[in-house]
Amino acid sequence: MFRLYQFFIAFILLAPALLWAQQASHLNCGTSHQAQAIGVERLAENRRMAPQLLADWQQQLQSRNSFDSTVYVPIVFHRVSRGDGTGAATYQQLHDNLCAINGFYADMNVVFYIHEINEIASTQLYVNQDNTADYVRSLHKRNGYVNIYVGGPYQQGTSYGAYYAPNFDWIFAWNNQIAGGTTLAHELGHYFTLAHTFYGWEGMEYSSASVGNKAPEMGSNGRPVEKVIRGQTGENCQWAADGFCDTPPDYASGGGGCSFTETWRDPDSILITPSSNTPLINNHMSYFSCRTSFTDQQKEAIMLDMISRGQHYNAAPAALTADGTPSLIFPEDGGLIPNVDQGVELRWQAANAAHAYWVVVEKVTPNSCIPTGQTQEFIAQGTYLWLDLEPGQYYRWSVRAMGAENPCNYNASPWACFRTEAWTTAVAATEQLASAKLWPNPQLVGQELILSLETAQSQKASLEIYNNLGQRVASQSLSLAAGEQLLRIATQDLQAGHYWLNLQMQSKNKQLPFVLVD
């Protein structure tokens, strides 16, 4: 019988596992029997290669500082929205899942961290449309990383909450099926070669599948049904079901709650009851609701696959834990932002040891700064961010410094409330520029030109005059009042020739040619 977990105990620091609440309205896993068969084959190959894999792991350990035995696994979350950019999973959902996953895998001394959150606007992928979705995923896949695509809420008629696709080596999940982290912890188990604890029993019910009041010898797809017996003649746990001898027989492919109340008999008629030979209702690879842990043999399989994938070569991220709080620079609390049509730059002072910054901007009520529920979220690697805001609105913003390992424990700046000036929109500025006229044209050298235009409200503008060589020969800043404007433009310093007057309002331009003659 294959036994390896004692070796890992010598190298892996054990930490307490976190317990997470049952996920409501949970759909079953969509990882097919065929997909699990690929994982089981890889598991067998990893076991065959275990001496070489472990020797490579030990050599890598000796080259690390302080004999650090942590395996660092980078994740790329692909945050999928509709084609118009709406409906994606929130950053909070992704961060919460990472923290939950790290809790579930903590006693293996494995640290998952977010390498990237990739934004994908694709309606086909959002609803996981057949064929097209796989093509879109392939365009965005990051080789060398664990790729997790989080789409929209599950679609009508969908029977799965998430699945692992071994042929493409990625995970897909609906964004309303990942609460609590158990779904992705389960799919990562498949990713690292684990099958369901009831593998080979898919689609079967004990009440209808039992023969002579005991489980049949063979399950679905020709897989042997696991027996209770261990360490004696007749044991089949090494090749039946999931291939692990420390996961008892599980005939509950339809799942269950947080308790086992059935009475079964295995193919040898040995009883399986709530008090004897009970399935592991807390195992991540079962369909029971209260999933919190892996067995020792499952852990060793995960570690072997991580080594075979080369994950043990990954260096620790530069900032596992943020060690400071960012300070907001602009806009300050109570500030006013003019000219938002040109975009707004948010700036903050860096926090010590931050892996990334999570920027949250919310619309608020005037004066009282109470959130209205309209929120924008951004992830930034630097200390600034450009974004578009609406004129004449009230907002608040905050920046959260995050570490790579645990983005749930972030250090947030205080909120700063500000408002945007009610400048005209770019559309209005374009319409106003269209009304601009220059006359008389041609005009005599030394005589004034008249520029006429109409503005909806007071604003800034600028004038520049260029000659036919493209050289700027005059410029002037203007403060325009609302209404019809007649502006006099002097020409006494210009010679006869062809010129262009460039009028700029709200980052929009209009060129008006004119001619001066002797």
Q: Are residues 87 and 225 in the same domain?
A: no
Tokens (6 digits) for 244 = 């692990």
Per residue in 10-57, pLDDT (tens digit) is 333 333 333 233 333 557 899 999 999 999 999 999 999 999 999 999
Asked whether residue 364 falls in the same domain as residue 383, the answer is: yes
What CATH code is carried by the domain that includes residue 364? Answer: 2.60.40.10
Tell me which residue of 219, 224, 225 sits closest to 202, measured CA to CA. Answer: 219
CA distance 300 to 293: 13
Nearest by Cα to 305 from 163, 140, 149, 195:
195
| Pair 440, 353 in one domain | no
Q: What is the pLDDT of residue 395?
A: 96
Residues (pLDDT < 50) of the chain are 1-24, 424-427
> Which run of H or of E encompasses 118?
strand 110-121
In a domain, residue 268? The reply is: yes
Same-domain pairing of 259 and 400: no
- pLDDT computed for residue 340 by the predictor: 62
Query: How far apart, in whole angstroms, are the C-alpha atoms of residue 421 and residue 336?
Result: 7
Domain end position, chosen among 261, 278, 313:
313
Give the phi and the psi of residue 55 in degrees, each rounded to 5. -65, -40
Domain end marker among 250, 285, 313: 313
Domain co-membership, 57 together with 167: yes
Sheet holding 508-517, edge to edge: 443-444, 508-517, 497-505, 459-467, 472-480
What's the rounded Cα separation, in Å, for the pair 335 and 347? 13
CATH number of 127's domain:
3.40.390
Instruction: Let me know whether 495 and 360 are in one domain.
Output: no
Residues spanned by the domain of 478: 426-517
Max Cα-Cα span within the chain:
115
Place of tokens 């907001």: 328
The total domain count for the chain is 4
Sequence-ordered list of residues with C-beta below 8 angstroms from that of 167, at least 6 positions apart, any chain: 35, 38
**Position 343 in a domain:** yes
The pLDDT value recorded for residue 68 is 80
Position 65 scores a pLDDT of 72
The reply to whether 302 and 288 lie within a common domain is no
CB 223 within 8 A of CB 200: yes
Whole-angstrom distance, CA of residue 230 vs CA of residue 1: 10
Asked if residue 2 is part of any domain, the answer here is: no
Give every CB contact of residue 278 below 8 A, 6+ residues apart in sequence. Answer: 248, 260, 272
Q: Which residues contact 244 (CB under 8 A, 6 or more apart)?
A: 237, 295, 297, 298, 301
Query: DSSP 3-state helix, strand, coil percentages of the chain (rounded to 5)?
Result: 20, 30, 45
Q: Which residues pair with 364 in a beta bridge?
A: 371
Is 485 inside any structural domain? Answer: yes
pLDDT tens across 303-320, in order? 999 999 999 999 888 777
Tokens of 302: 């995960």
Q: How far apart are CA 289 and CA 324, in angstroms?
A: 38
- Provide the pLDDT for residue 509: 77
CB distance 357 to 348 below 8 Å: yes
d(CA 77, CA 462): 46
SS3 category, 165: strand
Q: What is the CATH number of the domain that holds 505?
A: 2.60.40.2550
Q: Is 342 in contact with 424 (CB distance < 8 Å)?
A: no
Both 92 and 189 in one domain: the answer is yes
Residue 165 domain-assigned? Answer: yes
The verdict on 356 and 444 lying in the same domain is no
Residue 473 placed within a domain: yes
pLDDT at 484: 79
Q: Can you tell me the distance from the alpha carbon of 13 to that of 110, in angstroms, rounded to the nearest whole number? A: 10
> Are both 410 and 384 inside the same structural domain?
yes
List, for residues 152-206, the tens digit of each pLDDT value: 998 888 889 999 999 999 999 999 999 999 999 999 999 999 999 999 998 888 9
Regarding whether 336 and 267 lie in a shared domain, the answer is: no
Q: Is residue 8 part of a domain?
A: no
Q: Quote the CA–CA distance of 179 and 199 in Å, as a whole number.
A: 25
C-alpha to C-alpha distance for 409 and 413, rounded to whole angstroms = 13
Query: Which pLDDT does position 5 carry in this prediction?
Result: 37
If you write DSSP's letter for every residue of 224-280 in order, what string do you get?
A: BPPPS--SSTT--TTTSTTS-TTS-----TT-B-SS----EE-TT--EEBTTBS---
Q: Are residues 47 and 165 in the same domain?
A: yes
N- to C-terminal Cα distance for the chain? Answer: 106
Q: What is the pLDDT of residue 482?
A: 75
Token couple for 355: 């892996």
Choose one of 420, 450, 479: the last residue of a domain. Answer: 420
Q: Is the residue at 212 inside a domain? A: yes
Can you tell me the distance from the alpha carbon of 92 to that of 398, in angstroms, rounded to the nearest whole number?
14
Kindly report the CA angle at 105 between 184 and 29, in degrees rounded to 5?
25
